[in-house]
Amino acid sequence: MSRRSFVRSLLETSKVIRFLHRSLNQSFLKLRYLHRHRQKKRNKIPIAKASPAANPSNEAARLEALQRYEILDTPPEDAFDDLTALASFICGTPIALVSLIDSNRQWFKSKVGLEATETPRELAFCAHAILSPSEPFIVPNALDDERFATNPLVVSDPDIRFYAGVPLVTADNYPLGTLCVIDRIPRRLNREQIDALRALGRQVITQMDLRIKLEKEKELNELKSRFVSMTSHEFRTPLTTIMGSADLLEYYSDKWSKEKKQSHLQRIQNAVQHMTLLLDDVLLIGKAEAGKLKFNPSPLDLKQFCLDLIEELQPNVSNHHSLTFVNHTQDIKANLDQKLLRHILSNLLSNAIKYSPDGGTVNFELFCQEGWLIFQIQDFGIGIPEKDLPHLFESFYRANNVGDIPGTGLGLAIVKRFVDFQDGKIAVESEVGVGTRFTVQIPFHPVANYSS
């Protein structure tokens, strides 16, 4: 080989070696990158796993307090949205929420910078925040906090790093949720920002209280207008009767027979009695509302009590109605307030008769099951429209199918209060044109050593 061709082949070989070296080097770098990336991934991104907060010690009462506000799942309201907007602006965070902690979720009454309307409670930072109702709860960097470092809301969307929440505490000390601000980068708040967040939190609970007051005010106004229309109708009719009969007696009594005078006097007495009963009901509901009912239990032979009640009601039962009583108990004696029970049952039985204009049967049954006395009153009368059922126990409420059947809408309101007062329950099932069944349950307190 000539010297020239030897040099050429040497150059060629070194080119190949350089090429191979470069390729190997690149592959090595690529492998190293992949290895490092995998390692990074393994070390840095934790497996998503929440550390749920414990329940507050008064959880059941706290949830009841939350329910009283009737705010969950209501539409957004400006008053709350203004407060979250201010919180986000003052604290300089992209996210701010009014979050309420329900039994197994946190629900947002108001939100800035977040799409979700609720998240599971076990993921909620706010569920931790309500455990110390008097202090703001601040997490400067969720990745440095073992309670939150693996929280799915931290390791993935919305990538929470910073959280600060002030508990929303009711006047009776129940923490319902928080007003909170959230950021996607670690940070801190200064003293002024924390104080401002606290003040805004107090405004949130004030708004919640105002909502309840407004709702009560609305109910009261509705009640007032129903009271006015009921009294004007129910008092006007007997007053017209009294006036008419009194006028006639004044002008014609000399010429009338004793029987005719007597019949007009009777009409006046009936009208006065009707108004007295009406006033008694108004007073009774006032007493129940004011918490002034009294409970005077005494031993009561239930079967005999029910039979007597039916006997008393017989004058009201027209020839077309039949009132039947079936006793499913072993002639028991219970400690009960007779006056309250009489009022409940006679009201339901009179209604069953009153709203069965086409005649038919009213069934009255007595059971004793699992510590409850159960009274069932079933009729086959006009029934109650579905949309009226939720309102039946409100004062002065009457269903819209009553036509000209007289009534005040007070009976069931009183019945409900009397049942509640004895820790009982009342339920109604009804279908228009088919009939109605009321079921009353009262706790059974047996009288010892009773044998019939």
Smallest separation (angstroms) from ligand ADP to the CB of 234: 9
CB contact set of 160 (below 8 Å; sequence gap of 6+): 125, 142, 148, 151, 153, 154, 182, 183, 184
402 contributes a contact to ligand ADP by CB under 6 A: yes
User: Closest CB to ligand ADP among 201 and 435?
Assistant: 435
Smallest separation (angstroms) from ligand ADP to the CB of 239: 18
Question: Which residue is closest to ligand ADP by CB?
Answer: 407
For ligand ADP, how many residues bind (rule: CB under 6 A)?
A: 20
Smallest separation (angstroms) from ligand ADP to the CB of 216: 21
238 contributes a contact to ligand ADP by CB under 6 A: no
Q: Which position among 392, 419, 426, 440 is part of the footprint of ligand ADP (CB under 6 A)? A: 392
Q: Which position among 183, 337, 365, 379 is part of the footprint of ligand ADP (CB under 6 A)? A: 379
User: Closest CB to ligand ADP among 141 and 439?
Assistant: 439
- 263: which 2 tokens? 């019949």
Q: How far apart are CA 405 and CA 393, in angstroms?
A: 18
Smallest separation (angstroms) from ligand ADP to the CB of 288: 13
Reported residue count of the chain is 452
Smallest separation (angstroms) from ligand ADP to the CB of 402: 5
Contact 450, 299 (CB under 8 A): yes
Residue 11 class from Cβ within 10 Å (0-12 exposed, 13-18 middle, 19+ buried)?
exposed
Q: How far apart are CA 184 and CA 142, in angstroms?
A: 10
- 288: which 2 tokens? 């129940």
User: Closest CB to ligand ADP among 148 and 380?
Assistant: 380
User: Closest CB to ligand ADP among 163 and 397?
Assistant: 397
Smallest separation (angstroms) from ligand ADP to the CB of 238: 15
CA-wise closest residue to 245 among 226, 262, 223: 262
| Residues between 334 and 363 with contacts to ligand ADP, criterion CB under 6 A | 351-352, 355
407 contributes a contact to ligand ADP by CB under 6 A: yes
106 contributes a contact to ligand ADP by CB under 6 A: no
CB contact set of 280 (below 8 Å; sequence gap of 6+): none
426 contributes a contact to ligand ADP by CB under 6 A: no
Sheet hosting strand 162-169, strand order edge to edge: 118-120, 105-112, 95-101, 175-183, 162-169, 137-139
| Residues between 433 and 452 with contacts to ligand ADP, criterion CB under 6 A | 436
Sign of CA dihedral 410, 413, 416, 420: negative
Smallest separation (angstroms) from ligand ADP to the CB of 438: 7
Q: How far apart are CA 112 and CA 82, in angstroms?
A: 10
User: Closest CB to ligand ADP among 195 and 431?
Assistant: 431
| Residues between 132 and 161 with contacts to ligand ADP, criterion CB under 6 A | none
Smallest separation (angstroms) from ligand ADP to the CB of 360: 12
Sheet hosting strand 360-369, strand order edge to edge: 321-327, 360-369, 372-379, 435-443, 425-431
Give residue for tokens 């129910």: 234
Smallest separation (angstroms) from ligand ADP to the CB of 219: 17
175 contributes a contact to ligand ADP by CB under 6 A: no
Please state whether the peptide bond connecting residue 56 to the residue before it is cis, i.e. omega within 30 degrees of 0. Answer: no
- Which alpha helices (H) appear in 48-93, and where do they start and end? 59-68, 78-91
Q: How far apart are CA 139 and CA 21, in angstroms?
A: 52
User: Closest CB to ligand ADP among 75 and 403?
Assistant: 403
381 contributes a contact to ligand ADP by CB under 6 A: yes
User: Closest CB to ligand ADP among 124 and 410?
Assistant: 410
DSSP 395: T
User: Closest CB to ligand ADP among 257 and 400?
Assistant: 400
234 contributes a contact to ligand ADP by CB under 6 A: no
Which stretch in 62-70, 104-112, 113-121, 402-410 sits in contact with ligand ADP by CB under 6 A? 402-410
DSSP 94: S
State the residues that interact with ligand ADP by CB under 6 A: 351-352, 355, 379, 381-384, 392, 398-399, 402, 407-413, 436
